[in-house]
Amino acid sequence: MRDILDDIVDDDQRASQVIRHVRSLFKKGDVERRPLQFNEVINEVVSVVRGDANRRHVSITLDLAARLPRVSGDRVQLQQVLLNLVVNAFDAMADATGRPRKVILRTSALGGQRVQVDVADTGPVIATEALGSIVTTKPGGMGMGLSVSLSIVGAHEGRLWADNRPEGGATFHVLLPAIPDEEAP
Q: What would the pLDDT profile of 15-72 be if each residue is shown by its tens digit? A: 566 555 655 554 445 667 899 999 999 999 999 999 999 999 999 999 999 999 999 9
Provide the whole-model pTM.
0.77
Q: Are 123 and 93 in contact (CB under 8 A)?
A: yes
- What are the C-alpha distances in Å from 16 to residues 9, 11, 44, 112, 124? 10, 9, 14, 34, 31
Domains and CATH numbers, the chain: 2-183 (3.30.565.10)
Q: Which residues pair with 161 in a beta bridge?
A: 173
% of the chain beyond a pLDDT of 90:
52
What is the DSSP-derived secondary structure letter of residue 178? B
The model's confidence at residue 154, banded by pLDDT at 50, 70 and 90, is very high
User: Which residues in the chain belong to E strands, given as ranges?
Assistant: 34-36, 58-63, 71-73, 101-110, 114-121, 159-164, 170-177
